[in-house]
């Protein structure tokens, strides 16, 4: 750095390592409306002067910056780390910066105080300096009362007068920030609260009688406590190379095909399959959902069947061979003759992006408030960055759920650039050790600033072996874990019926999967009462509505998993038996450092039973053949 220009010496203050930030400010951390944002930074300067610092923040679209005082976290070491807070009250991009300056008057009065205490007698030099500071403040203030206070002190200046609390306060109120330094402007993306806390139910409308029939069920689904109703693609399905039941290569004449083979003569991604209903039906369904406090989520798969209108209207958007023919999808040696991928490197990429923008905005205008994006990790990152912002410019409410099961860095990148929520590896974390490690990573590393997990217990593609072989107790355990470990979780219909038969041993695909055939579904599975109760518990307990408040407890038994989740005035303990076959006993070891009372009462929110617990080991026994596979305790007030 060359010697700075100007007659004022460069500021001596450093503001380092501001948080929350992601990748040096390349991405914006995420928060939700109603959150209190805690901003921290190293704030210090050379020498011994007393500093002050504020976080300055600005709401989306606001003109004025507001300020909140920051304080050193550890006064004992002349605290280098400072913190301040502000509440985010609207959706959109908030901005913040930190400003710090030397508090000349506080430094002066602190030294004067120390001299007084030490009995130093001649303070005339000190008082002449103080008089200058007070006079400056008196001239600066626009407050008549402050001016009066300051002038009164100046009238006959003594150390005692200068150190009077009202004088100090009057000066501070009118302090000049002579050497103020600021960080760059940092961003925060603030979503609605449902971005963090949501309960999803997934169904194939064709198995429930189409969109009108599903609309009629919405009161019941809402009554179960679900917030988001999510459909796999509802578009016309290609006929050429249509897949048959159980993913066979040749479809029978009545086979409906996979909803992921999108596009037919009836239309593409902007159309509704005629057998499901109409665009108006979607709009009506979305309105009914909204009336019941729910959102509708559409599945967006960015590929085309062989019959998709865009293949003929826009061949330039697809992969072409040198001879000009279009290339179907392949992952050698596998070939997918029924699917055509987009060529994201096409020179017409801008038209392609715009076409997708229109598709998504069209659905938003129909009333859709959430998109589950199929395989976003095989499309350009910049495309997602752009289109999420475009859609949010139309409706900031829209939630984007990333369905990327791939390398962790890629999943993180998608979350950083704007996906609201993400599918996770939860389905494959079934041991105590795996769950503890994974959830601690999600909750306590930097990832928590931008990656919001959505724990699905199952999906149309994932029926884990644990469920295949564990029977109903396995379904209970996984449901309790998903619903209490993650503030967002999801259930794909059939789970409540304990559906557990794979298409073949060793596969995670369902037998007779709804992906390839119509099933007859109804909302009467035996697990629904427990789902309803868990959703009630989730809504009633703030501790279950955030992620970074989980503390795993030792259980003295690897088949038992236990954790505490805490929010102000609300503590939940969960103990679950991971073994679906045998009774397991052990303890929930409550460590002293979590700050609970030495002894307290917990209420099992699933059974109503009460137990006396304490800091230390609390005996637990869970029996899949008995009455219970998991406890969800709340500390009784």
Q: Residue 30 pairs with which residues in a beta bridge?
A: 189
Q: Is 197 or 342 the residue whose CB approaches a second copy more closely?
A: 342
Nearer to a second copy, 271 or 326 (CB): 326
Give alpha helix (H) positions in 340-380. Answer: 349-366
In the complex, the smallest distance separating the C-beta of residue 199 from a second copy, rounded to whole angstroms, is 30
Catalytic residue among 35, 179, 202, 374: 374
For a second copy, give the closer residue by CB, 127 or 283: 127
Q: Which is nearer to a second copy, 11 or 246 (CB)?
A: 11
Nearest approach in angstroms of CB 315 to a second copy is 16
Residues that bind a second copy (CB under 8 A): 1-4, 7-12, 14, 16-17, 23-25, 42, 44, 46-48, 77-78, 80, 111-112, 114-115, 117-118, 120, 125, 128-129, 131-132, 179, 321-323, 325, 327, 330-333, 344-347, 349-350, 353-354, 376-382, 385-386, 389, 407-410, 413
Give CA–CA dist 86/171, Å, rounded: 25
Compute CA distances 399 → 411, 416, 461, 546, whole Å.
Answer: 16, 14, 22, 17
From the CB of 12, what's the least distance to a second copy, in Å?
Answer: 5
Question: Looking up tokens 């807070």, which residue turns up?
Answer: 85
| Least CB distance to a second copy at residue 2 (A) | 7
Of 28 and 562, which has the nearer Cβ to a second copy?
Answer: 28
Helix orientation angle between 144-155 and 165-173, rounded to the nearest 10 degrees: 130
Question: Which is closer to a second copy, CB of 112 or CB of 442?
Answer: 112
Q: Which is nearer to a second copy, 345 or 505 (CB)?
A: 345
403 noted as active-site residue: yes
Task: Pick the closer one to a second copy by CB: 118 or 144.
Answer: 118
- Category of 195 on φ-ψ map: left (φ > 0), alpha (ψ -120 to 50) or beta: alpha
User: What are the b/e assignments for 519-532, b being 16+ CB within 10 Å?
Assistant: eebeeebebbebbe
Q: Taking the complex as a whole, how short is the minimal distance between the CB of residue 107 and a second copy, in angstroms?
A: 11
Whole-angstrom distance, CA of residue 620 vs CA of residue 605: 15
Structure tokens at 37: 């944002």
Q: Distances from the Cα of 187 to the Cαs of 62, 354, 448, in angstroms?
A: 14, 26, 16
Shortest Å distance, C-beta 129 to a second copy = 6
Measured distance CA(217)–CA(205) in Å, rounded: 11
- Taking the complex as a whole, the smallest distance from the CB of residue 42 to a second copy amounts, in Å, to 5
Two tokens at 567? 């929010």
Kindly tell me which of 44 and 475 has the beta carbon lying closer to a second copy: 44
CB nearer a second copy, residue 345 or residue 524: 345
Instruction: In angstroms, give the least distance from the CB of 179 to a second copy.
Output: 8
Which of residues 378 and 601 has its CB atom nearest to a second copy in the complex?
A: 378
Query: Of 308, 371, 370, which Cα lies nearest the Cα of 342?
Result: 308
| Cis peptide bond upstream of 556, omega within 30 | no
- Token pair, residue 248, equals 């066979």
Place of tokens 């070939």: 335
Pairing of strands 329-331, 303-304: unpaired
Query: Is-catalytic flag, 76?
Result: no
CA 97/CA 58 separation, integer angstroms: 9
How would DSSP label each residue in 382-429?
HHHHHHHHHHHHH-TT-EEEEE--S-HHHHHHHHHHT-SEE--SGGG-
Helices (H), 486-626: 528-540
- For residues 289 and 231, the answer to whether their CB atoms sit within 8 Å is no
Q: In which region does residue 150 sit, left (phi positive, over 0), alpha (psi from -120 to 50) or beta (all else)?
A: alpha
Q: Say which DSSP state 60 is in.
A: T
Residue closer to a second copy, measured from CB, 25 or 502: 25
The answer to whether 176 and 140 have CB atoms below 8 angstroms apart is: yes
Q: How far is the CB of 181 from a second copy (least distance, A)?
A: 11
Where do runs of H (alpha helix) occur along 486-544? 528-540
Q: Is 378 helix (H, G, I), strand (E, B) or coil?
A: helix
Looking at 255-325, list the stretches that DSSP marks H as alpha helix, in order from N- to C-terminal side.
279-291, 309-313
- 372-388 as b/e, with b when 16 or more CB fall inside 10 Å? bbbbbbebeeebbbbbb
- Of 403, 413, 447, 496, which residue is the catalytic one? 403
Q: How far is the CB of 371 from a second copy (least distance, A)?
A: 18
Rounded to the nearest angstrom, the gap between the alpha carbon of residue 5 and the centroid of all alpha carbons in its chain is: 45
CA distances, 467 to each of 303, 403, 521, 569 (Å)? 31, 21, 20, 35
CA distance 110 to 131: 15
Place of tokens 């979590």: 594
Residues designated as active site: 374, 403
């Amino acid at each position: 750095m060359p010697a700075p220009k100007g007659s004022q010496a460069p500021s001596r203050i450093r503001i380092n390592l501001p948080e929350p930030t992601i990748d040096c400010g390349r991405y914006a951390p995420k928060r939700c409306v109603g959150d209190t944002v805690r901003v921290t930074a190293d704030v210090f300067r050379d020498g011994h002067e007393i500093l002050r610092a504020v976080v300055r923040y600005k709401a989306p679209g606001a003109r004025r910056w507001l300020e909140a005082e920051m304080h050193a976290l550890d006064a004992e070491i002349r605290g280098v780390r400072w913190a301040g807070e502000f509440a985010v009250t609207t959706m959109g991009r908030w901005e913040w910066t930190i400003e710090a300056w030397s508090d000349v008057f506080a430094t002066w009065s602190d030294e004067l105080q120390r001299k007084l205490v030490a009995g130093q007698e001649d303070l005339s030099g000190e008082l002449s300096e103080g008089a200058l500071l007070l006079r400056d403040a008196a001239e600066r203030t626009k407050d008549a009362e402050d001016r009066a206070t300051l002038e009164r002190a100046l009238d006959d200046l003594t150390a005692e007068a200068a150190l009077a609390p009202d004088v100090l306060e009057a000066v501070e109120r009118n302090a000049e920030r002579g050497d103020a330094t600021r960080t760059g402007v940092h961003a925060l993306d603030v979503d609605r609260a449902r971005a963090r806390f949501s309960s999803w139910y997934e169904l194939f409308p064709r198995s429930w009688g189409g969109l009108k029939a599903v609309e009629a069920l919405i009161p019941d689904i809402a009554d179960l406590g679900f917030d988001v109703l999510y459909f796999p693609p509802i578009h016309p399905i290609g006929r050429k190379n249509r897949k048959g039941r159980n993913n066979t290569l040749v479809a029978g004449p009545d086979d409906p095909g996979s909803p992921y083979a999108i596009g037919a003569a009836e239309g593409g991604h902007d159309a509704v399959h005629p057998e499901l209903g109409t665009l108006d039906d979607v709009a009506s369904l979305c309105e009914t959902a909204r009336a019941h406090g729910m959102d509708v989520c559409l599945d967006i798969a960015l590929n085309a069947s062989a019959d998709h209108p865009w293949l003929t209207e826009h061949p330039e958007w697809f992969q072409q061979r040198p001879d000009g023919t279009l290339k179907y999808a392949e992952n050698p040696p596998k070939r997918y003759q029924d699917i055509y991928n987009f060529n994201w490197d096409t020179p017409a990429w801008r038209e392609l992006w715009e076409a997708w923008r229109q598709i998504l905005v069209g659905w938003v205008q129909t009333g859709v408030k959430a998109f589950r994006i199929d395989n976003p990790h095989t499309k350009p990152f910049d495309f997602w960055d752009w289109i999420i912002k475009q859609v949010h410019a139309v409706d900031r409410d829209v939630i984007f759920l990333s369905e990327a099961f791939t390398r962790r860095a890629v999943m993180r990148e998608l979350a950083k650039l704007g996906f609201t929520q993400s599918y996770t590896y939860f389905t494959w974390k079934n041991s105590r050790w795996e769950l503890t490690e994974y959830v601690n990573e999600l909750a306590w590393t930097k990832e928590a600033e931008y990656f919001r997990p959505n724990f699905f217990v199952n999906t149309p593609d994932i029926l884990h072996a644990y469920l295949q072989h564990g029977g109903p107790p396995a379904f209970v355990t996984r449901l309790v874990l998903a619903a209490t470990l993650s503030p967002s979780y999801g259930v794909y219909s059939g789970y409540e019926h304990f559906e557990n038969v794979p298409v073949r041993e060793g596969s995670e695909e369902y037998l007779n999967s709804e992906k390839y055939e119509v099933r007859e579904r109804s909302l009467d599975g035996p697990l629904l009462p427990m789902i309803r109760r868990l959703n009630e518990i989730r809504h009633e307990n703030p501790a279950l509505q955030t992620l970074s408040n989980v503390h795993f407890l030792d259980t003295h038994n690897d088949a038992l998993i236990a954790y505490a989740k805490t929010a102000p005035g609300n503590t939940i303990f969960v103990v679950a038996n991971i073994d679906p076959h045998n009774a397991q006993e052990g303890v929930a070891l409550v460590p002293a450092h979590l700050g609970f009372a030495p002894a307290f009462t917990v209420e099992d929110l699933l059974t109503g039973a009460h137990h006396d617990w304490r800091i230390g080991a609390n005996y637990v026994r869970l029996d899949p053949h008995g009455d219970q596979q998991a406890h969800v305790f709340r500390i009784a007030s």
